Structure 1
Amino acid sequence: MNATRLIRRSLAALLMGWLTTGAALASERWVVLGGDIAETLAYLGADINVIARDDTVVYPPAMAALPSVGYLRQLSAESVLSVKPDLILAAGHAGPKEVLEQLAAVGVSIEIISTPPTLEAIGDKVRAVGQLTNRRKEGDVLADTLNDKLAQLANLPALPPTRAIFIMQHSGLTPRAAGSDTAAHTALEAVGLENAFAEMQGYRSVGAEALAKKAPDIVIVSERGLAAIGGEAALWQLPSMALTPAGRHRQLITIDDQALLGFGPRTPDQLLTLRQDVEALLSTSMNAQTHSARATTAQVSP
């Protein structure tokens, strides 16, 4: 057999392998568990096989409209099996573990994409999803783009010292704020803000006394959290909020918490947008203070 014929047969075998793999992928039924994994699939154009999702998948709209198999951390084997999946693509915190083991035991393929909850790991997550879905090249390109945006954010000049409270949820008259060891804390640090409640861990309720003591300059709240409070007017009426710089100057930024805190493909852009919003707010505040100081000076001048 000459070299030319050998090369032709090798190429034919390789092409047949690609076609076989493509046909198999096209006929598979996938369930995605985790909003970040779902968004990554969509960005890579690898979502055509997805037929169901969990409750945390709220974007893109087409995927959010698919049947849900339950909440990410409280799945049941019966619910997942009801959609007859061939493959499950799951975030690392999907569970319970026993349910995933039951699904694997009955022949469902399960791929866990587990990465640290850091901004630096977003690119690794994207590459992992790209490899698992035969989109390796697209995954590499997207990961590089996202890493470039994070580098752009990290290289921005420092903000003036600014304390922020990140309100995720709300119960009664007590806002639930982000402490350290949270995605919100990471986001605040990434844009150059100081978390006014960094001394506490996790998301905890913050009373009026603590709110007044920490005196945040800016309130950052999720759109859903603001709606739960009753809107912006209700936010400023929370006990002791009027005693804070944020309350006195009405310094508020609303965010899409899924996009910002999901640590998926939308996160770097959302961080850059948050940074721009903070800069605009601080600039407006400084201009207002300068105008007020000039007006006061003019009043006392002879």
Structure 2
Amino acid sequence: MTSYYIKTRLLGIAVLGWLLAGTPLAHANERWVVLGGDIAETVAALEANINVIARDDTVVYPTSMAALPSVGYLRQLSAESVLSVKPDQVLAAGHAGPKEVLEQLGAVGVSVELISAPPTLNAIADKVRAVGQVTDRRDAAEALANALNAKLDRLASLSALPPTRAMFIMQHSGLTPRAAGSDTAAHTALEAVGLANAFAEMQGYHSVGAEALARQAPEIVVVSERGLAAMGGEAALWQLPGMALTPAGRARQFIVINDQALLGFGPRAPDQLLTLRQDVEALLGITATALISP
């Protein structure tokens, strides 16, 4: 029987296959495939000395990794595609899959490390430490984790905003925007900066029509860059059915965010949250409190 390992790191290690003895160390001459935008971002932030030769479709930052060959979509991988780049190591987000594909990779001698983290802000630092352990950048990871936690602590310590209802548009589908409800990264982001999610009663992302927009009455629209571009820009945003009936539509109050930087809960997320808080304060006419320090 061929020995192989698939490890899931973070808050303990769950073994999904047969384990090789010891923890894999990063070697510059090994060929690495990185799967998951947050994992790639973390590898880059740690300046890990690993030879990354491929990525998946969700890796769009940094540009150096985005330029690498893609082996497919994170959740719909095929063993043939990954093996075509001849990897020695696969470093992946915990929701990479299917599981059977990862087991096939391990069965032919490719080591697979899964960094599994809940989609919460508190897990960002643990994710950084886990990637640091796999890539042999423990000291750098500890320093980065502490810095990121300090920024999140600063955000949490800011004075409460006046009660303000916001909606988060991730995508645009036909004539209706696709808004974020509870149990989404966007909902977490809105709450983190002190906004109330106008669509918190629904779960996940759903299309919302004119009646729902008028009823929930968001005062601020937070929209992703990709979502705004897909609908045709700011003018198209305000022309969405029902948007003119909302306080946000009447006042033309909206904020554009980089959803990949903010919602991936990688190392860029704390600064993105502080920037979002600054933008909200500016719209509400509040003296800036969320100052970003180096």
Amino acid at match of 2:227: G
Unaligned runs of 5+ in 1: 1-20, 285-302
- CA RMSD in angstroms, aligned pairs only: 1.4
Q: Specify the alignment match of 2:127 in structure 1.
A: 125
Q: Report what 2:10 is aligned to.
A: none
Provide the C-alpha distance between the structure 2 equivalents of 1:36 and 1:174, rounded to a whole number of angstroms.
Answer: 29
**Maintained 8 Å contact 2:30/2:50:** no
**Of 213, 219, 222, the match for 2:221:** 219
Map of 1:63 onto structure 2? 65
Aligned to 1:7: none
Give the alignment partner of residue 250 of structure 1, picking from 226, 242, 252.
252
Deviation at 1:23, TM superposition (A): 10
CA shift, 1:105, in A, is 0.6
Match of 1:109 among 85, 108, 111: 111
Q: Distance in 2 between matches of 1:185 and 1:212?
A: 20
C-alpha separation between the residues in 1 aligned to 2:129 and 2:271? 18
Secondary structure of the corresponding residue to residue 221 of structure 1: strand
2:27 touches 2:50 (CA, 8 Å); kept in 1? no
SS in 2 for 1:110: strand
1:91-145, Cα deviation, whole Å (9 max, x unpaired)? 0000011100111111100001001111000000000000111100000000000
Q: How does 1:1-302 map to 2 (within 5 A)?
A: 25-46=27-48, 48-283=50-285
Q: TM-score, length-normalised on structure 2?
A: 0.88
Amino acid paired to 1:110: V
Q: Secondary structure at the match of 1:130?
A: helix
Higher relative contact order (CA 8 A, sep 6+): 2
Following superposition, the deviation at residue 80 of structure 1 comes to 0.2
Contact kept? 2:262, 2:273, Cα under 8 Å: yes
**Number of residues of Structure 1 aligned to a counterpart in Structure 2:** 264
Following TM superposition, by how much is the alpha carbon of 1:47 offset from its aligned partner in structure 2, in angstroms?
Answer: 5.5
Secondary structure of the 2:113 match is strand
Q: Deviations over 1:21-71 (max 9, x none)?
A: 999701100000000000000000016411100000000001100000000
Inter-CA distance 158–69: structure 2 relative to 1 (3 Å threshold): same
The alignment partner of 1:264 has SS state of coil
Q: Tell me the percent identity.
A: 82
- 8 Å CA contact 2:25–2:135 kept in 1: the answer is no
Q: Give the SS at the match of 2:153.
A: helix
1:232 CA displacement? 0.2
Letter in 1 for 2:73: Y
Q: CA deviation at 1:263?
A: 0.2
* CA distance in structure 1 between the aligned counterparts of 2:221 and 2:119, rounded to whole angstroms: 24
The residue that corresponds to 2:292 in the other structure is none
Counterpart of 2:200, as a letter, is: A
Please state how far the C-alpha of 1:156 moved relative to its aligned partner: 0.3
Structure 1: distance between partners of 2:201 and 2:49? 41
* Letter aligned with residue 228 of structure 1: A
Distance between the aligned counterparts of 2:26 and 2:121, measured in 1? 34
Give secondary structure in 2 for the equivalent of 1:27. Answer: coil
One-letter code aligned to 2:76: Q
- Bigger radius of gyration, 1 or 2? 1
Deviations 1:231-252 (A, max 9, x none): 0000000011000000000001
Counterpart for residue 292 of structure 1: none
How far has the Cα of 1:230 moved from its partner? 0.6
Gaps of 5+ in 2: 1-22, 287-294
